[in-house]
């Protein structure tokens, strides 16, 4: 009888502890991905970015890259070689083969409406928020790298080494995949992504694509813009003009 | 009608223990490599953000593809009712399961977080071909396990054909799934071709049979059991047909790609100026892995010669590994077309560099060792092998 009671107590304690840990763990996980305010993320918004390559200078792009590194804490890896180091955003220089015109642009996760990375991820770690931001849940990522195979924009990086000194809002981990989060942690506080803030000119505009009063919506209505690999029909959130 | 008697091997000879010790060494080396890679992170491998799947994936996919092919012998016996293959059915099922186990081991241990395998088993995204594959692989173990039970248990023999058909269909879907891992990747020029699924099925026929032939001939030679020409020559012919069929699919795949202007770049890369990948394609896959085996199998001077069949099988396996290396790593090395009509001067677009490390090679070889040690051990504890496959036994069975 005594034994039975003990077992029951044990089960009760274990269950309570498990439930407690699960609750806290869930909270920790979600804090990165859900709006910091009380409002849940909805599809009433679709966050996007417009990069004007006519106005964007090479040094602007360098500024964007360092702002991203500083905000999200990548780029200080010591063991990885150049091809292994993470690269959430990078500078691309392209030349039109017919006109020889050269354009510079910043390339990062394009936050597709139909993201191939989300389609292929076996564990739902790659996911798209209702407001269009594409993220990796670091707690679910098993490091299979299938999303990196599927991404048409070379936008994702695999963490090849142990990391220290991480940002509180951006848990990163050896053996998982990561990419631009469109600074979801800032956007949820009504701020702009770090790269956009750093450039601080109309060369890069961030905003809600669906909001008819937003600068990005108005500008996209007015100027000719393009999506990279528009032929894939992924309907990217990041758009470019001048290329 | 003669009755086939199955018998465990004795497995007490010095050779047996030497084989187990040798395979065990490879497995230990593989586990050591995994510890090294997982402890340090993948920076100690040749893989990077452009070549995200390296040599371990080449071995893993080779073994997985070969696994479904190895089951063919059993399928031919029970589904297509060719009785001469019936005595080989048990071994066929065993080789299939062992190869799959080896391949999955490599695949899982190369994950960034192999400790999270439980997530892969519990969180499914049903739009992901990878997730389908996890279900298909687990299902394969289950179905082939039941299939073997039907074969071993006399009173269950009557269900053999039904389960055999289920297993045959399952393995076709499984290899379709494996081929589709690449076939559905729209972003990459080398992939994005639906023909990859049937091509992978044909590759599985050839690789699986080559592996099976080697296991069969080695186990009968080493245990000094009779193995007649009736069976060996049929397997040899079959291997020739499968190798030729793979060549056909490879030709259609490349010709189809060449026809599309958008893919001429990647085709030139693989076929003409891709360095290691071009060499592996022509010398490894085509000449060594296909044309020489075909010559060995069909040339009158070598036809029927067991050593030559063994050599042909080894070459088919090496050619298969070369083929998967070209598909998996060559396909990633060639850059994606980010800006059609434009030339990328900086930031992206170079041919990605990859040099596999010893750790990756040992992990891959460890997968083959796991498959072989599983076969070696199980033929000792369970009666998988007929005590004789001499012509009078096998052939009389065939005629009855």
Within this chain, do residues A71 and A16 fall inside the same structural domain, yes or no? Answer: no
Within this chain, do residues A126 and A23 fall inside the same structural domain, yes or no? Answer: no
Within this chain, do residues A4 and A48 fall inside the same structural domain, yes or no? Answer: no
> Cβ contact (<8 Å) for A142 and B52?
no
- B346 interaction partners in chain A (CB closer than 8 Å): 91-93
> Cβ contact (<8 Å) for A149 and B119?
no
- A81 interaction partners in chain B (CB closer than 8 Å): 43, 48
Q: Which domain holds residue A93?
A: 32-241
For residue A168, the Cα-to-chain-centroid distance in whole angstroms is 16
Nearest Cα of chain B lies from the Cα of A92 at a distance, in angstroms, of 5
Distance CA B119, CA B1 (A): 52
Q: Which residues 262-301 of B have a C-beta within 8 angstroms of A?
A: none
Is B192's Cβ below 8 Å from some Cβ in A? no
Nearest Cα of chain A lies from the Cα of B83 at a distance, in angstroms, of 41
Chain B interface disruption, residue of A58, A85, A92, most B CBs within 10 A: A92
The burial class, CB within 10 Å (0-12 / 13-18 / 19+), for B38 is: buried
Is B237's Cβ below 8 Å from some Cβ in A? no
Whichever domain contains A101, its CATH number is 3.30.70.20
Within this chain, do residues A98 and A20 fall inside the same structural domain, yes or no? Answer: no
Distance CA B252, CA A161 (A): 42
Nearest Cα of chain B lies from the Cα of A172 at a distance, in angstroms, of 13
Domain count, chain A: 2
Which pLDDT score is estimated for A6? Answer: 61
Chain B interface disruption, residue of A139, A144, A177, A228, most B CBs within 10 A: A144
Within this chain, do residues A24 and A42 fall inside the same structural domain, yes or no? Answer: no
Within this chain, do residues A56 and A71 fall inside the same structural domain, yes or no? Answer: yes
Within this chain, do residues A135 and A27 fall inside the same structural domain, yes or no? Answer: no
Within this chain, do residues A24 and A37 fall inside the same structural domain, yes or no? Answer: no
CATH for B6-336+352-399, options being 1.10.287.130, 1.20.1630.10, 3.10.590.10, 1.10.760.10: 1.20.1630.10
Within this chain, do residues A108 and A180 fall inside the same structural domain, yes or no? Answer: yes
Residues 6+ apart with CB under 8 A from B56: B106, B107, B109, B110, B360, B363, B364
Q: For chain B, what percent of residues have pLDDT higher than 70? A: 98
Which among A85, A142, A151 is the nearest to B120, CB-wise? A142
Residues B92 and B72 sit within 8 Å (Cβ to Cβ)? yes
Q: Model confidence at B341, in pLDDT bands (50, 70, 90)?
A: confident
Supply the angle between the helices B160-183 and B196-222 in degrees, to the nearest 10.
130
Q: Model confidence at B183, in pLDDT bands (50, 70, 90)?
A: confident
Nearest Cα of chain B lies from the Cα of A59 at a distance, in angstroms, of 14
Which among B42, B112, B348 is the nearest to A92, CB-wise? B348
Residues of chain A with pLDDT under 50: 1-3, 23-33
Within this chain, do residues A81 and A10 fall inside the same structural domain, yes or no? Answer: no
Please name the residue of chain B whose CA is at the shortest distance from the CA of residue A96. B342
User: Three-state secondary structure along chain B?
Assistant: CCCCCEECCCCCCHHHHHHHHHHHHHHHHHHHHHHHHHHHCHHHCCCCCCCCCCHHHHHHHHHHHHHHHHCHHHHHHHCCCCHHHHHHHHHHHHHHHHHHHHHHHHHHHCCCCHHHHHHHHHCCCCCCHHHHHHHHHHHHHHHHHHHHHHHHCHHHHHHHHHHHHHHHHHHHHHHHHHHHHHHCCCCCCCCCCCCHHHHHHHHHHHHHHHHHHHHHHHHHHHCCCCECHHHHHHHHHHHHHHHHHHHHHHHHHHHHHHHCHHHHHHHHHHHHHCCHHHHHHHHHHHHHHHHHHHHHHHCCCCCCCHHHHHHHHHHHHHHHHHHHHHHHHHHHHCCCCCCCCEEEEECCCCCCCCCCCHHHHHHHHHHHHHHHHHHHHHHHHCCCEECCECHHHHHHHHHC
Which pLDDT score is estimated for A19? Answer: 57
Is B113's Cβ below 8 Å from some Cβ in A? yes
Distance CA A86, CA A122 (A): 22
The mean pLDDT of B268-279, rounded to a whole number, is 96
Q: Model confidence at B241, in pLDDT bands (50, 70, 90)?
A: very high
Which pLDDT score is estimated for B154? Answer: 87
pLDDT digits 0-9 by tens, B303-315: 989 999 999 999 9
- The DSSP element (H or E) to which A10 belongs, if any, is helix A2-31
Which among B124, B187, B346 is the nearest to A150, CB-wise? B187
Nearest to A79 by CA among B39, B40, B46, B47: B40
Within this chain, do residues A93 and A15 fall inside the same structural domain, yes or no? Answer: no
Within this chain, do residues A25 and A36 fall inside the same structural domain, yes or no? Answer: no
Predicted confidence (pLDDT) at residue B344 exceeds the cutoff of 70 = yes
Contacts of A188-192 with C-beta under 8 Å, sequence gap 24+, read A188/A34, A188/A35, A188/A36, A188/A37, A188/A41, A189/A36, A189/A37
Please name the residue of chain A whose CA is at the shortest distance from the CA of residue B332. A149
Which pLDDT score is estimated for A115? Answer: 97
The mean predicted confidence, pLDDT, of chain B is: 94
Is B38's Cβ below 8 Å from some Cβ in A? yes
Which among B53, B123, B344 is the nearest to A149, CB-wise? B53
pLDDT digits 0-9 by tens, B225-239: 999 999 999 999 999
> Cβ contact (<8 Å) for B342 and A87?
no
pLDDT digits 0-9 by tens, B10-28: 999 999 999 999 999 999 9
Distance CA B389, CA B90 (A): 13
Supply the angle between the helices B89-109 and B358-381 in degrees, to the nearest 10.
150
């Amino acid at each position: 009888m005594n034994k039975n009671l003990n077992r029951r107590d044990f089960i009760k304690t274990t269950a309570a502890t498990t439930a407690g840990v699960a609750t806290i763990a869930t909270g920790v996980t979600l804090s990165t991905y859900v709006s910091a305010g009380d409002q849940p993320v909805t599809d009433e918004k679709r966050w996007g970015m417009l990069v004007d390559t006519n106005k964007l200078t090479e040094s602007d792009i360098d500024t964007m890259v360092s702002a991203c590194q500083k905000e999200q804490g990548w780029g200080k890896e010591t063991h990885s070689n150049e091809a292994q180091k993470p690269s959430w955003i990078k500078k691309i220089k392209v030349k039109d083969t017919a006109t020889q015109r050269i354009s510079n642009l910043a390339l990062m996760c394009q936050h597709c409406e139909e993201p191939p990375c989300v389609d292929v991820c076996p564990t739902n770690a790659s996911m798209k928020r209702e407001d269009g931001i594409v993220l990796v849940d670091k707690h679910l990522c098993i490091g299979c790298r299938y999303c990196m195979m599927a991404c048409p924009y070379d936008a994702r990086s695999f963490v090849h080494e142990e990391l220290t000194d991480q940002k509180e809002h951006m848990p990163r981990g050896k053996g998982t995949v990561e990419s631009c989060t469109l600074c979801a942690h800032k956007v949820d506080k009504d701020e702009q992504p770090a790269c956009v803030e750093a450039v601080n000119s109309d060369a890069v505009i961030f905003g809600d694509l669906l909001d008819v009063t937003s600068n990005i919506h108005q500008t996209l209505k007015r100027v000719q813009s393009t999506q990279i690999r528009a032929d894939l029909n992924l309907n990217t959130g990041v758009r470019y003009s001048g290329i | 009608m003669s009755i086939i008697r199955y018998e465990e091997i004795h497995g007490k000879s010095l050779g047996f223990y030497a084989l187990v010790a040798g395979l065990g060494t490879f497995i230990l080396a593989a586990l050591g490599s995994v510890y090294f890679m997982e402890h340090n992170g993948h920076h100690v491998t040749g893989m990077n953000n452009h070549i995200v799947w390296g040599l371990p994936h080449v071995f893993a996919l080779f073994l997985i593809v070969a696994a479904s092919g190895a089951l063919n012998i059993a399928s031919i016996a029970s589904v297509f009712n060719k009785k001469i293959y019936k005595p080989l059915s048990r071994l066929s099922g065993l080789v299939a399961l062992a190869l799959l186990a080896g391949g999955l081991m490599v695949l899982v241990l190369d994950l960034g977080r192999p400790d999270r395998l439980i997530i892969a088993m519990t969180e499914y995204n049903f739009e992901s071909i990878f997730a389908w594959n996890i279900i298909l692989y687990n299902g394969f173990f289950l179905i082939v396990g039941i299939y073997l039970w039907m074969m071993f248990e006399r009173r269950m023999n009557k269900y053999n054909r039904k389960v055999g058909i289920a297993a045959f269909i399952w393995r076709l879907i499984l290899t379709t799934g494996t081929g589709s891992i690449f076939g559905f990747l729209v972003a990459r020029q080398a992939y994005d071709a639906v023909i990859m699924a049937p091509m992978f099925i044909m590759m599985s026929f050839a690789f699986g049979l080559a592996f099976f032939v080697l296991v069969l001939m080695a186990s009968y030679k080493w245990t000094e059991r009779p193995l007649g020409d009736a069976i060996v020559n049929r397997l040899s012919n079959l291997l020739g047909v499968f190798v030729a069929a793979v060549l056909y699919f490879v030709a259609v795949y490349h010709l189809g790609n060449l026809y599309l202007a958008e893919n001429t770049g990647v085709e030139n890369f693989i076929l003409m100026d891709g360095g290691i990948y071009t060499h592996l394609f022509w010398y490894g896959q085509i000449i060594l892995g296909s044309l020489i085996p075909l010559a060995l199998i069909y040339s009158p001077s070598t036809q029927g010669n067991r050593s030559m069949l063994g050599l042909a099988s080894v070459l088919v396996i090496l050619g298969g590994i070369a083929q998967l290396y070209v598909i998996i790593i060559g396909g990633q090395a060639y850059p994606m077309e980010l800006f059609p009509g434009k030339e990328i001067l900086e930031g992206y677009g170079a041919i990605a560099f990859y040099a596999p490390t010893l750790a990756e090679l040992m992990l891959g070889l460890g997968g083959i060792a796991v498959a072989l040690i599983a076969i070696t051990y199980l033929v000792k504890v369970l009666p998988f092998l007929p005590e004789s496959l001499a012509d009078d036994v096998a052939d009389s069975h065939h005629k009855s």
